[in-house]
Amino acid sequence: MDSLISTVLLILSIGSVSFGSPPNKLAPMIVHHDKVTLSGFSSGGTFAQMLQFSYSRLFSGIAVFSHSYYRCGNGSGLVDHYDRQCTKLFNGTEFDLYNPDLVHKDIEEYVRLKKIDNPNNLKNKRLYVYTGLQNLLFTPRQSLSILSVYERYIASPESIFTRVQDANLVLPTDNAIYGRPCTEFSESTFFIGKCGFSGVKEALNFLLFHNSSDSVKTNYYNRESLMEFDQTEFTRGLPATHYMDSIGYYYVPKRCGSVYQQYRRCYLHFYFHGCASGREFANTTHIRYSGLLEVAEARNIIMIFPQAVTSKPENEIGCWDSFGISGEFYATQDGPQIEAVKRMLDRILQNYGSPYKGSSTSSSSSSGGYYPTKGNGNNNKPSAPTHSQHYHQYHQYSTAMKQKQNGNQRGSGSTSQSYGKRRG
């Protein structure tokens, strides 16, 4: 029955997208320049880190879900190398995986070459981390190693929130009508997991409002406010033309629209999908069931959803470039995908006029309007440990791992059958 419901929902979602209208032109918007945040799922979570390290002065916080860490692997552009060094797909022990201590050498070199901003800009920024103990792609150590990368730069443990849950490779939601159980592989529902709580709500509350929970209701979003924009103008002259979809999505809450802009300055957030969950695979399904739109509407957050695309032979499932397919400096300001998204940000922050008002992704026959999207999915919401508990648990785990680390160094890896189609 779950499979049948998912199929029907997918058909309905595809049917609601307007294919006839040209995409909008992304326009300048009135936003809080000092409160621009990032998040991403799996390869999108890794890409969000790449964007933040590249331009650390511009982003106030980041949330990552079911991810690896910044600059993992040898950056060869070969997916097999990345899978061997940064995932558990080849059934090696976690002590054979890439050593996160090597990342700091890359960061120092990138700073010397002026390829990234000074990472000391991260001192007062905020970080939210979610990882699942049953993640089929990343070991807990791989996902939690993001903390050993960021803790060198973020001044206070109170600025880091970590949640470890008994979960698979999922974006955790409190959705009761769409998704797979939290511990199951959820590729059929584009990695939306029924986990008893909304990860994106918890993350955005922490990043923007400095608390992990609140009483603000997030049960509605406006169908007509999710719109397409033309990504091609941001990739002209860049190799990113081959790695970015022609269309991206954005969401403008009602109180951030042109009628309201003279009264309200809204927040700005960029979210990056994972492998096999971007537009060419999922249309808007991953976005609409993520929980992001409901939080955006309730909290006055303009959402930008850039879209990556497949490229053969190394990226057949539309991942963000987390392994060097676009060149040696893929994880820096010179990375084609990073430069394309930076151009989007530059356009938005020009800060004149109001958001472009054009056709939405809904068909003309859609009723639109505000409508409920979730049932009662909060009954199993896990309690959140304190920041100090999270940090203590991580350091116990990290210390044990480092004691057993066999000092693996960056190598070329070896080529064999790729399991990349199971990556998220």
For residue 281, being part of any structural domain is answered with yes
What's at 161, amino acid-wise?
A: F
Per-residue model confidence as pLDDT tens digits over 38-93: 999 999 999 999 999 999 999 999 999 999 999 999 999 999 999 999 998 886 66
CA distances from 104 to 70, 88, 151 (A): 10, 23, 11
By residue range, what is the domain housing residue 378?
2-17+27-407
The pLDDT, as a whole number, for residue 2 is 42
Distance CA 11, CA 283 (A): 10
- Whether 333 and 53 have beta carbons less than 8 Å apart is answered as no
Report the distance separating Cα 49 and Cα 59, nearest Å. 10
Q: Is residue 246 in a domain? A: yes
The number of domains in the chain is 1
CA of residue 2 relative to chain centroid, distance? 26
Which residues are CB-contacts of 128 (< 8 A; sequence separation ≥ 6)?
39, 61, 62, 63, 64, 160, 161, 162, 202, 203, 206, 207
In a domain, 412, yes or no: no
Residues 6+ apart with CB under 8 A from 4: none
Please tell me the predicted confidence (pLDDT) of residue 20.
57
Three-class SS state of 394: helix
Domain assignment present for 384: yes
Residue-wise pLDDT for 22-31, tens only, equals 899 999 998 9
Q: Collect the ranges in the chain with pLDDT lower than 50.
A: 1-19, 259, 351-423
In a domain, 255, yes or no: yes
Burial class of 65 by CB neighbour count within 10 A (0 to 12, 13 to 18, 19+): buried
Pair 275, 136: CB distance under 8 Å:
no
How high is the pLDDT of residue 144?
Answer: 96
Nearest residue to 22 via CA among 318, 186, 291, 232? 232
Q: Is 45 exposed, middle or buried (0-12, 13-18, 19+ CB in 10 A)?
A: buried
pLDDT for residue 394: 38
Q: Indicate whether 22 belongs to any domain.
A: no
Residue 423 within a domain? no
> Does residue 418 lie within any of the structural domains?
no
The model carries a pTM of: 0.81
